[in-house]
Amino acid sequence: MRLHDGSEITAEQIEELNAHGPYSMAVWKSGDVAIGNEEGLQGRSAYFTSLIRQSILARFSLDEIKGFSILDIGCNDGWVLHTLSDLPFKKMVGIEPREKNIAKGRKVRELLKLTNSVEYRLGDIESIGDEVFDIVICAGVLYHVESIPLALRNVRNACRRMVFVESRCISSKYVTRDLMDEIEMRDLVYRFKERQCGITAQKFESAYHDGSARHATIVNIPSAESLIMNLSILGFEGIDVVADLDTYRESVWQDKRPLSGICIAATLDPAAKMMESEEQTWIDEYESNLEATVLDRAYIEPVYRYIVLGDMATNLPPKSGTTAEYLTLAASKADEMKAKLASLHQDKYEIEIVQNFRYSPRDKIALEYGKLLKSEGRLGEALEVLKSISSKLNADWRSVYRSFHLISEIYREQQNVAATNRYRDLCLKCNQKYPVNRRAQAET
């Protein structure tokens, strides 16, 4: 068996390779010598490495690449970057937490007389420090870690332009409508982001095999949806699934193994922000729109008198009567009534306000009546209604901080600086992220 330079590999050298093995992640070749036993994963590394190459060349020119750095996280024996080393990267680094895998790659390149300009380091993503790379590869890693979100956050911190993620995944068939209902996707985020969810499956994993966890632990196998959501929240854009679960299975495992996989390429704008930086903008918009939504007097006053004041003789117009009925129904029936309420209230914020009356109805209805009085300039009456919430023991939290804010605004209009600041401070103690009026903030 001859190497690419015409020399023959010896029996002693083969024993050395066997001692460093197994070479189970890819096949190293030199001349007519091939080193590798992929154990049911045949062609996997070659497959996703080809997709990495295609993804890079689709986004960047060779001239750009000449000034780029690339990092392979969990590089194992270094085959992926070795295969990509014909591309003119300025800097190529592979990091691997197992000394054995680093030595394995070093030995096979030495005996097969293969060279490259890649720097292989012992370490993991945390060892990168503040170092940043233009392109980051994270292949065959995420399903061996304890926390996928934390791992991807570290990937993002090390990435300047593009990431390529390859991971085994569980089927999307487990992401069902029943699951979505059960986990209650009601957060503020879903007013600004697509309604989606993902899942991960957990299993025990030891450090016994070369390509497994670093120590005995519980690892997570994600769904495709989970990976995409994690990349999105970190600010990655152009999230391109270059091989979905079906494509991956057909191309690599051909239904010989139950688990599938995914390959995703995503870009990162230098000015991109993580989703958490958008949170305050969403809060500002959400709370401002709720505050600006004032319900019609003909609707809210009868509801206020009937529910809050307990005046059973109140004449309820049809629209108000529907709300009163909604508040007295059992939970199963109330869900059916929500659609009817939505048809009577067209604005999305108005619909949300009315549907949420069901939870702490007296406080929430009083808040809306207080807003109405304030909008009409009836400030004294508004203060009385709003303070009936703010000074009530065990009052509804949302109604309380919103009442504090409205009270502060009323006192600002009355030029009572001390009361303005007191209720502004109470609002922020109650909800530190509430977007208090900026003019009130400026007052001392």
388-428 pLDDT per residue, tens:
999 999 999 999 999 999 999 999 999 999 999 999 999 99
- Does a structural domain hold residue 289? yes
- Does a structural domain hold residue 3? no
- Does a structural domain hold residue 284? yes
134-171 pLDDT per residue, tens:
999 999 999 999 999 999 999 999 999 999 999 999 99
**Same domain, yes or no: 33 and 104:** yes
**Same domain, yes or no: 295 and 148:** no
Cβ atoms of 245 and 172 closer than 8 Å: yes
**Same domain, yes or no: 246 and 294:** no
| Sheet containing 119-122, strands listed edge to edge, beginning at the edge strand earlier in sequence | 119-122, 91-96, 69-73, 133-139, 159-169, 260-267, 237-243
Residue 277: pLDDT band with limits 50, 70, 90: confident
Residue 95: strand, helix, or coil: strand
Domain assignment of residue 283, given as a range: 278-442
pLDDT at 340: 83
pTM for this model (two decimals): 0.81
**Same domain, yes or no: 401 and 336:** yes
- Does a structural domain hold residue 290? yes
Other CB atoms closer than 10 Å to residue 59's CB: what's the count?
16
Cβ atoms of 76 and 118 closer than 8 Å: no
Of the residues 257, 272, 287, which one is the last residue of a structural domain? 272
**Same domain, yes or no: 316 and 349:** yes
**Same domain, yes or no: 223 and 362:** no
- Does a structural domain hold residue 379? yes
**Same domain, yes or no: 251 and 296:** no
Domain count, the chain: 2
**Same domain, yes or no: 287 and 349:** yes
Query: Of the candidates 170, 83, 95, which has an alpha carbon nearest to the alpha carbon of residue 125?
Result: 95
179-221 pLDDT per residue, tens:
998 998 888 888 888 888 999 999 999 988 877 887 899 999 9
Of the residues 238, 272, 306, which one is the last residue of a structural domain? 272
The whole-angstrom distance between residue 436's C-alpha and the CA centroid of its chain comes to 28
